[in-house]
């Protein structure tokens, strides 16, 4: 069974300065909107998972971009970000 969520998720890929991954993750995890963060191999260094409440007045996409531009992008050691905002998400219900 699938259920629709009352919040939106976004996935933010971060490029960091060399050797700053752990410092960046520590700062990212202090943000209330960040649910989890991972060091990943490849073109990006960190994957952060954001969770923002869906709101009729302010679209969740705007809230996500506010977090990315006003908070995450300003963290020392962050060089670049790439944000993925799913249009539809499905999760298996936990029994």
Residue 16: give its domain's CATH number: 3.30.70.920
Please tell me the predicted confidence (pLDDT) of residue 2.
46
Burial of 31 (C-beta count, 10 Å sphere; 0-12/13-18/19+): middle
Q: Is residue 22 part of a domain?
A: yes
- Is the per-residue pLDDT at 22 higher than 70? yes
Q: Is residue 92 part of a domain?
A: no
Task: Give the domain extent around 30.
Answer: 7-84
Read off the pLDDT band of 59 (50, 70, 90): low
Q: Is residue 73 part of a domain?
A: yes
Mean pLDDT in residue range 25-42: 97
- Whether 77 contacts 24, CB under 8 Å: yes
Please tell me the predicted confidence (pLDDT) of residue 57.
53
Domains contained in the chain, number: 1
In percent, the amount of the chain with pLDDT more than 70 equals 89
Q: Is residue 90 part of a domain?
A: no
Q: Is residue 37 part of a domain?
A: yes
Q: Is residue 76 part of a domain?
A: yes
């Amino acid at each position: 069974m699938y259920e629709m969520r009352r919040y939106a998720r976004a996935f933010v890929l971060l490029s960091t300065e060399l050797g700053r991954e752990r410092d960046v993750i520590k700062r990212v995890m202090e943000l209330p909107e960040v649910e989890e963060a991972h060091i990943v191999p490849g073109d990006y260094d960190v994957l952060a998972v954001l969770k923002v409440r869906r709101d009729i007045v302010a679209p969740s996409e705007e809230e996500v971009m506010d977090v990315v531009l006003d908070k995450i992008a300003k963290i020392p050691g962050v060089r670049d970000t790439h944000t993925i905002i799913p249009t539809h998400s499905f999760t298996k219900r936990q029994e």
